[in-house]
Amino acid sequence: MRISGRDMLALSPALAFVVLFALVPAVVLFASTAAAAGGLGGIVAIVSSPLNVASIENSLEQGGLSALLAVALGYPAGVFFGRYAFPGRDILRSLLLVPFLLPSLIVVFGVLDLFGADGVLSSAVPWFGTFGSGLPAIVVANLAFNVPIVVLFTSTGGESAPRDLEETVASLGGSPGRAYVDVWAAPTWVGAAAGGLLTFLFSSLSFAPPLLLCGPRCYTVEARIWSLASLTLEPTAAGALALAMVGLFLLPTVAYLALLGRLRGASGRARPRRRSVPGRSVVGVALAAETALVLGSVVVLLAAVLDRTLAPIGSRGPASAWVALFSDATTARLGVSAVGLVANTLLFATGAAVVALLLGIVLGYAVQGRPARAGALGLVLFVPLLLSPVVLAVALAEFWRPLLGGAPNVWILVIVSQSILALPFALQSIEIPLTGLSPSVREGAEALGASRWVAFVDADLPRVRDGLATAGLFAFALGLGEFTATNFLVTARLTTLPVALYELADSRLFAVADAAAGLLLLLSLAVFLAIAVGGRRVEL
Amino acid sequence: MSSSEPLLQVTGLSSSWDGRPVLRDISLTVADGEFFVLLGPNGSGKTTLLRAVLGLEPPDRGRVVLGGVDVSAWPVHRRGIGLMFQDPALFPHRTVYENIAYAPLLHRRPRPEVDREVDELVSLLRLGGFEDRRPDQLSGGERQRVALARTLAARPRLVLLDEPFASIDVELKAELRAEFRRVLGTRGIAAIHVTHDREEGLFLGDRVGLLFDGRLERVGRPSEVYAGPGSERAARFLGYNVLTGPRGLEAVHAADLRWEAVGTGGLAATVVTAGSVGREELVVVRTDAGDRAELRRRAGSAPLSAGDRGGVRWDRSIPLDG
């Protein structure tokens, strides 16, 4: 792939955004860290401290275990979605993204509500309490997020298997098992591996689960960086660990992007397939049962959160947690009312969505019909993926907060951080339909005298409006639930629902926190419904 | 199977998709070594019929008997029926040799026998020198020849060809279909060839079946089917003009239709459009009864233009049903 100067110019708005608000702050952070630590030796010494090494080990343990289990549980269900027809398949496939779009804290609350001290399942069968805290609880929370992602990726791989070749193998005498080995095992495992790697990355860098379900002994690198930067105020140590983290997760991130590219390439070439009916084979029935069990568990986890919001506080009536959430006492504790929390959350999410959408449109114009630019776009998206939310927040705060005039303008950084974190995922929703678009309508408009930009707006954009709407909603949903970076940056007056949720839980006000979690869940589900209405298909 | 018994016997095959009938009570037979062509417009159910015969899409009703054995409930890989698509569907990561040897190795035939078989097919399909190439190093026609060799290496009793020449250049197409016909004939393998190209179907088939809206309307030798299309839609599909003449609905070949000046008889008609096609003039007319027809006139006649009035006359026609 050769990227020309004009390609770079066309991509410059997005590049400038990522460079100014991610790359430069991160490089400055790492450079100042290296200077303060006294060079590489100092950084190595900081990273080698027992607590930092433990956090790296925790990251690898939690990430590795979660990824292996997510693939083991998600692969059969992914095969089921990719190869079988059943009522409501398309809507269910869209639903797979719900856990991914949900704030991490909600899933953590789901784990506590099911398996915690007085959880629904642990109260009935004490053995379930095993999953209420420590490593098992963290892994369960990670799985609730990530198994659906593995299912989604595996199903995309299964759908991309060449149908004609598979049928030809059967006609040549190859059994269904042989067709699996020779034709469709590879694409499904490419999907599962991509999902597994994403699970590894998300779980290794998870923040809320170790914080609320275990404590310092389970801190991941991400949680440890936050602790160093916010609690013990050791910015050099935080920066050194952040640098080590980028190095540590560079390889899995590159591997993930490579697999994703392969999966999307195969998916783009795939012809629609007629799917089998599961009831016609033992394998189909078994896969259906496994899928129902795995996805049913995720639904139960989320339902537990909603159910808990209706539980009375002490002798007060049902839904008293909701009353408490909107009470003056809660407002006084948080420094902002519940209505204000919702307003702040919606404001930041809207900002993130608008930024992602505008960049998406400009990038769409830049990459239309130009594979080299689409490839370069992948590189642009690569940077935010590599920076975890806490590292991004620390870098932004260090570099931009003084330049923006301190606390009063920190809202800009919240929007910037949310949009940067949402960018890699939201832009996929625009790029995928745009790269698959036939250029004839646009070329026709150009032949009629329209400029390149006007032709793009008149001919291409209307044809990818679903992708645009999905990208905006996706960024909005991710902004809605973003906790890690926002928690680091935000001031009390601008607190969002996820941040308040953590503060309430940290203050042991679990009932009110449950109501806040319920409110956040309902908001997220409303966004998801907006994505699903009209059959919009979302890809990661 | 006795020698008089057909190789393939399909009886009462019906199939539907989302409640809409796609195949309606299809019955047909194919003899050993016969090249049977299933001819019909797009969406008529040709591919669905092939997929039902192969077992890829179980029909709602009906039986498929192969070599005297009812295989209706058999899985695809046990039926011993070969399949070829428009897309050759070769393994992209395997060489020509490995693609052709796929089925024999799958069935654990001894290696020397597999080598012999592949060599023979390579020579039969003129693929010598390509054995070590991968599919992306071959032309479209070469890929289709490899696909046929791979199908034949599985030693099927019947081969289903689903428009395998549809994406091949016109020049190569004629050569390739003759080659396919020759190779299958040499090996005595029966085939059902699906196409919407009437010329291809009439040229290739020992027998031809006309399929419309999931119904097999007419089966016979190409000359029989062409000489007696039966229904109006079959006649139109075979390229006839359908006109309401003195004997009711009649199929008239374009070459048998003449344009006459006003008042000289024939069916009164108006020229819709006319233009030169090489040495001939192609004229599209509409009769006062509303029938559309095409005819060809020799160059040199006074050219016609849209709106000209006159009449059409013919001496030879085929009466149609209804």
Q: Where are the domains of chain A?
A: 1-20+316-540, 51-309
| Best CA proximity match to B5, nearest among B60, B48, B65, B62 | B65
In a shared domain, residues B113 and B253:
no
In a shared domain, residues B72 and B186:
yes
Cα A346 from Cα A477, distance rounded (Å): 10
Paired tokens of A65: 């275990």
Q: Is residue B246 included in any domain, yes or no? A: yes
In a shared domain, residues B108 and B169:
yes
For residue A164, the chain B residues in CB contact (below 8 A) are 85, 87, 89
In a shared domain, residues B301 and B177:
no
For residue B147, the chain A residues in CB contact (below 8 A) are 168
In a shared domain, residues B94 and B12:
yes
Long-range contacts of B280-288 (CB under 8 A, 24+ apart): B283/B259, B285/B259, B285/B310, B285/B312, B287/B243, B287/B244, B287/B312
- At A378, the pLDDT band (50, 70, 90 cuts) reads low
Instruction: Give the SS3 label for residue A208.
Output: helix
Report the domain count for chain B. 2
| Residue whose entry in the numeric block shows the structure tokens 């795939």 | A270
In a shared domain, residues B311 and B214:
no
Residue A376 makes CB contacts below 8 A (sequence gap 6+) with: A1, A3, A7, A8, A11
Domain boundary among B227, B256, B282: B227
ipTM surpassing 0.85, yes or no? Answer: no
**Does residue A295 contact residue A77 with C-beta atoms inside 8 Å?**
yes
Which tens digit of pLDDT belongs to each residue from B72-121? 999 888 899 999 988 888 898 899 999 999 999 988 899 999 999 999 99
Instruction: Give the SS3 label for residue A69.
Output: helix
Q: What percent of chain B has pLDDT over 70?
A: 98
Q: Is residue B192 included in any domain, yes or no? A: yes
Q: What is the CATH number of the domain that holds B112?
A: 3.40.50.300
Q: What percent of chain B has pLDDT over 90?
A: 64
- Domain A51-309, CATH: 1.10.3720.10
Which among A164, A172, A274 is the nearest to B106, CB-wise?
A172
According to the 3-state scheme, what is the secondary structure of A392-461?
HHHHHHHHHHHHHCCHHHHHHHHHHHHHHHHHHHHHHHHHHHHHCCCCHHHHHHHHCCCCHHHHHHHHHH
For residue A160, the chain B residues in CB contact (below 8 A) are none
Domain boundary among B227, B254, B282: B227
Q: Is residue B85 included in any domain, yes or no? A: yes
Instruction: Give the SS3 label for residue A227.
Output: helix
Cα A434 from Cα A365, distance rounded (Å): 9
Cα A142 from Cα A138, distance rounded (Å): 6
Same fold, A1-20+316-540 and A51-309: yes
- At B194, the pLDDT band (50, 70, 90 cuts) reads very high
Q: Is residue B311 included in any domain, yes or no? A: yes
- Specify the range with the lowest mean pLDDT, choosing from A17-21, A128-132, B92-96: A17-21
Statement: residue A514 has pLDDT above 90 = no
According to the 3-state scheme, what is the secondary structure of chain B?
CCCCCCCEEEEEEEEEECCEEEEEEEEEEECCCCEEEEECCCCCCHHHHHHHHHCCCCCCEEEEEECCEECCCCCHHHCCEEEECCCCCCCCCCCHHHHHCHHHHHCCCCHHHHHHHHHHHHHHCCCCCCCCCCHHHCCHHHHHHHHHHHHHHCCCCEEEEECCCCCCCHHHHHHHHHHHHHHHHHHCCEEEEEECCHHHHHHHCCEEEEEECCEEEEEECHHHHHHCCCCHHHHHHCCCEEEEECCEEEEECHHHEEEECCCCCCEEEEEEEEEEECCEEEEEEEECCCCEEEEEEEECECCCCCCCEEEEEECCCEECCC
For residue A178, the chain B residues in CB contact (below 8 A) are 77, 106
| Best CA proximity match to A222, nearest among A394, A342, A383, A352 | A394
B257: containing domain = 239-319
Which tens digit of pLDDT belongs to each residue from A307-342? 888 777 666 776 788 888 888 888 888 888 889 999
- Domain A1-20+316-540, CATH: 1.10.3720.10
Question: How near does any CA of chain B get to the CA of A93, in Å?
Answer: 21
Question: Would you put residue B230 in left (φ > 0), alpha (ψ -120 to 50) or beta?
Answer: left
Instruction: Give the SS3 label for residue A133.
Output: coil
Helix (H) / strand (E) element for A343: namely: helix A338-367
For residue A172, the chain B residues in CB contact (below 8 A) are 77, 82, 102-103, 106, 150-151, 154
In a shared domain, residues B185 and B149:
yes
In a shared domain, residues B62 and B211:
yes
pTM: 0.80
pLDDT in the model for residue A1: 45
Q: Is residue B234 included in any domain, yes or no? A: no
pLDDT in the model for residue A135: 94
Statement: residue B36 has pLDDT above 80 = yes
**Does residue A392 contact residue A17 with C-beta atoms inside 8 Å?**
no
**Does residue B84 contact residue B159 with C-beta atoms inside 8 Å?**
yes
For residue B85, the chain A residues in CB contact (below 8 A) are 164, 167-168
Query: In the predicted model, what is the mean pLDDT of residues A359-364?
Result: 78
CB contact under 8 A, B90 and A171: no
pLDDT in the model for residue A231: 84
Residues of B with CB under 8 A from a CB of A: 54, 56-57, 75-85, 87, 89-91, 102-103, 106-107, 147, 150-151, 154, 156, 160
Domain boundary among B172, B204, B227: B227
CA–chain centroid gap for B179, Å, is 16
Statement: residue B147 has pLDDT above 80 = yes
In a shared domain, residues B178 and B247:
no
> Which residues partner with B69 through β-bridges?
B66
Distances in whole angstroms, Cα of residue A313 to Cα of each of A319, A501, B107: 8, 17, 70
Paired tokens of A441: 């309508």
Which among B57, B81, B91 is the nearest to A171, CB-wise?
B81
Q: Is residue B2 included in any domain, yes or no? A: no
In a shared domain, residues B210 and B133:
yes
Which tens digit of pLDDT belongs to each residue from A56-101? 999 999 999 999 999 999 999 999 988 888 888 877 887 787 787 7
| Best CA proximity match to B132, nearest among B180, B100, B155 | B100
| Best CA proximity match to B249, nearest among B266, B268, B236, B239 | B236
Which tens digit of pLDDT belongs to each residue from B212-255? 999 999 999 999 999 999 899 999 999 999 998 878 899 999 88
| Best CA proximity match to B258, nearest among B313, B214, B178, B220 | B313
Which among B77, B85, B147 is the nearest to A173, CB-wise?
B77
In a shared domain, residues B199 and B265:
no
Question: How near does any CA of chain B get to the CA of A168, in Å?
Answer: 6
CB contact under 8 A, B89 and A164: yes
In a shared domain, residues B93 and B195:
yes
